[in-house]
Chain A
């Protein structure tokens, strides 16, 4: 497996996004429910160009990064698995011919629903209740951030592939 610039960009993005989500944004006073899932946006931007298997693999790896960055998830591994499913779901919307911007956003919406659905499900199992308003707020924040970030990430990905750096 060769190391490519695109791979390094991916690793850097996921690490930076994980730290931003867990440390910087809460420190800046962003309420927890309004922190967008930046890692998920990165996974979707790559998955929607390459398909479900790649999306699942990337989602699992990114999910593990998110788990390992403190606060460590509990139970360890659950978030990685849901992010894997979300990556696979986003990858299933791939169309190599399509350059539409709506498609990545739809993939992000689908993936976010998968992640937040998993979170709501585990909350129901663990606590018997779920903060639906908080989950909808996170969904909205993630989609809003995706509206800004997804075109940039997709464009960077395509540019790197075109220059044979991917």
Chain B
């Protein structure tokens, strides 16, 4: 081949190469055809050269992978089951109709706090303002419901306020997130404000007060324990810090309490006839009957 012919051929090939290069950068489908064609032609040679596993070994490797996936799935199920057992063993669920759900998504809210998505929704009987509990205690409340999922506002999210009872005496108060600038936010602690005079002790159990019809918060669910009491001289009510009972970062299996509205009047408790130390019948019911209700 003459020198000139070589130069012409070189120029032609360079132009062709540049065309392919530009086509590939522009995402032209013809380049993908080149790729798959080269794989089809050269691939078998490479398979032989690399000593790809013969049939039996490949079969066993595939079975191994399948069994490992199965084992992973089963251990996951066992874990979920043990969490369900914990949930059922806990007092918060007994005697209530619940739907067991699993956390499928979690997001840090722009307003502070976090919100979760559960894999249960209105088709499972979940309604807005249902209470969500974990095996340790209160998780939050349902704020939005879709047919198969629901969104949960976690305890301690911005603007979440829970009416609570504190300690053996049942002091009334509210638990809310610690306001911005209100001191160090230690491990997601919450702020407890008592609504009446009285002083809680460190270690007092904080449980929900409950709302009408159990919405948004059912009564008697553990919220957490008092970890510190802030002295506020000159004020009749006291604020304290509460450590939530549930680990809000590691939530997995939770129960949604399906609210059941009362549809028949509560019976009047009457003193049994001939009871010792008889007070006038009906009076205790007048004084103590009926739950104290409080909005969440």
Please list the residues of chain A having a beta carbon within 8 angstroms of any beta carbon in chain B.
1, 19, 22-24, 27, 53-54, 56-57, 60-61, 64, 68-70, 72, 74-78, 80-81, 84
Contacts and interface: CB of A to CB of B under 8 A. Distances in A.
B6 A53 contact: yes
Given A1-B1, A57-B13, A60-B10, A68 B42 contact: yes
| Range class of the B interface residue count | 20 to 34
B37 to A, nearest CB: 9
Contacts of A72: 34-35, 38-39
Interface of B: 1, 3, 6-7, 9-10, 13-14, 17-18, 20-21, 24-25, 31, 34-35, 38-39, 42-43, 45-46, 49-51
Q: Which A-B residue pairs are the 6 nearest by beta carbons? A: A77-B21, A76-B24, A75-B24, A77-B20, A27-B50, A23-B46
Contacts of B45: 19
Given A27-B50, A57-B13, 15 more contacts: A19-B45, A19-B49, A27-B49, A53-B6, A54-B6, A57-B9, A61-B13, A69-B38, A70-B38, A70-B42, A72-B35, A72-B38, A75-B25, A78-B21, A81-B14
Nearest to A74: B24
A75 B19 CA distance: 12
A69 B43 CA distance: 8
Contacts of B13: 57, 60-61
A10 B231 CA distance: 90
A77 B49 contact: no
Contacts of A22: 46
A53 B246 CA distance: 75
Contacts of A80: 17
B46 A64 contact: no
A19 to B, nearest CB: 6
Contacts of B6: 53-54, 57
A70 B7 CA distance: 29
A155 to B, nearest CB: 24
Contacts of B42: 19, 68-70
A152 to B, nearest CB: 22
Contacts of A70: 35, 38-39, 42-43, 46
